[in-house]
Chain A
């Protein structure tokens, strides 16, 4: 009996442990080791922190990281501002089939690959694209308008890509808020704003926090959207990592960048959690 229970536990834990070691632990240790290597000459390496020093001493890298972090934060905030009313509508106002249909609509963009989605935005936003042509047709603008290749286009792409990851946790938490609690808020004299601030948002906080973490991390780690929609100035941190690994053959620096991305983004998330008085356990659990 005891042995059986033990076997059951082992069977349960095996996939988890395999996943943790093979897909999380080993690659990261390998990355760490690579990042601590300094190239001396062809095929000769020594252990040093030179790569991390390179990251910290080159203002371009730090600036690019800061830019990426700020843009991702902005994308997260915009996604939240758009996602919250959408989620509230889906969770509390829409009923039955409308509710599932709306939820499904949020999912639709994920039926095609990220590349196709991004191309879709390019078709819409480009100078000879649909929106530009429509505006000209309506006589609102004189000549073609270029809406692609700038930071706003990146923002649109990021928000669009992230929306589902904000809406799902929000809908889930909002659905657990009983209607009568909201009604009680009104009944006792609250207006829409105070009910939102004192009742709905505090209740939805775990959903908001987990949605924001996911969206922030996804935006920070996004590669395709900033590259394709972004302009000639829009350097993204993942682009730096890619170019170190692939274009420069400088795996050592690329690995160091990867680690810095991991550390700094974790630090930002931790800081945000502290700032909003949330803990990761409460958000996830």
Chain B
């Protein structure tokens, strides 16, 4: 089956700056694809090129196998949900949703029926006569999606549409968006700088940095098997140490950090050899915590230190441990509540296996 959307060596230059650099990817029909990256990484540029508001410097964009470079934005089988939703304040809800259908020249009765259907589908029946500013943030969100979906686009682009919502609503909308996508069975391309949005909703995620895709894969791939240091650092929380490699043994290696600690890690087949500058990433949840050093003897990496901060956040609570001479290490508290009584300044022992330490080459400082 041809993918719904395919970008081939897509490049965009603004004068001297290279905003998008030879990006290629494809999005399978009916899937939820996210582009995740910090602001300024070029993800919005890609989205605007797909929508047709920007012309690529080179490369091609294909929708259902056909190049759309010569198709103006109003003719592309692509619709976009804008960051601030861009509902038309001068029209009521029904006219907003019916706008695209009117433009397509559909009859009045058909439009009314389709609008009603769409409102039913987003769970807001009978609000057609209301004004835009009478709706809540979540309702507007759904209307914005319905406004695009009535046109039955091949691809729906979403440009950080949850950014303006408050946290609680954002959490709910993540779930809702995912189920809307399933209900409409349309290909979604979603861009965001919020990893949790991407991880929760997407079938596949592309992590973007400085105009390039660092890695494309499922959420699990990115989280557990990051292929670049950037992805390891950007997706999920992590501890990070810089240093030099002292010993390599198969996939295992030893690195001396800048603060003088020796840490063991794994290179996952990456070309790293003794003397190279490198960095090791360890997720806070991979680190075990114990009252005595003996309990951690089976771990390759062990540190003893004191608790400097308690970051209580329900099930996701952590502590920061200040190991002598080392940086602060973030460690997740086990959910058992075993260490709930830990106080600031209390001595703790932490440790993790070398396999949890993901090691990447680091450019010379």
Contacts and interface: CB of A to CB of B under 8 A. Distances in A.
Pair from one complex:
yes
Interface of A: 178, 180-181, 183-191, 194, 198-199, 202-203
Contacts of B151: 188-189
Interface stretch (B85-93, B313-321, B350-358): B85-93
A190 B82 contact: no
B73 interface: yes
| Those 7 A-B pairs whose CB atoms lie nearest each other, nearest first | A189-B103, A188-B100, A202-B90, A184-B86, A180-B86, A180-B82, A181-B86
Interface string B172-201: 000000000000000000000000000000
B103 A187 contact: no
Interface residues of B, number: 26
A94 B151 CA distance: 33
B188 to A, nearest CB: 15
Nearest to A187: B80
Contact of B51 (A185, A187, A194, A202): A187
B82 A199 contact: no
Interface string B40-83: 00000000000111000000000000000000111100111011
Interface of B: 51-53, 72-75, 78-80, 82-84, 86-91, 99-100, 103-104, 147-148, 151
B103 A184 contact: no
Given A188-B103, A188-B147, A178 B84 contact: yes
5 contacts: A184-B88, A188-B100, A188-B103, A198-B91, A199-B88
A187 B53 CA distance: 9
Contacts of A181: 86-89
A87 B84 CA distance: 24
Contact of B104 (A183, A185, A189, A203): A189
Given A180-B86, A181-B88, A189 B74 contact: yes
Contacts of A183: 51, 53, 73, 80, 82, 86
A275 to B, nearest CB: 19
A187 B156 CA distance: 11
A186 to B, nearest CB: 5
Contacts of B104: 189
A96 to B, nearest CB: 15
B51 to A, nearest CB: 6
Contacts of A199: 88, 90
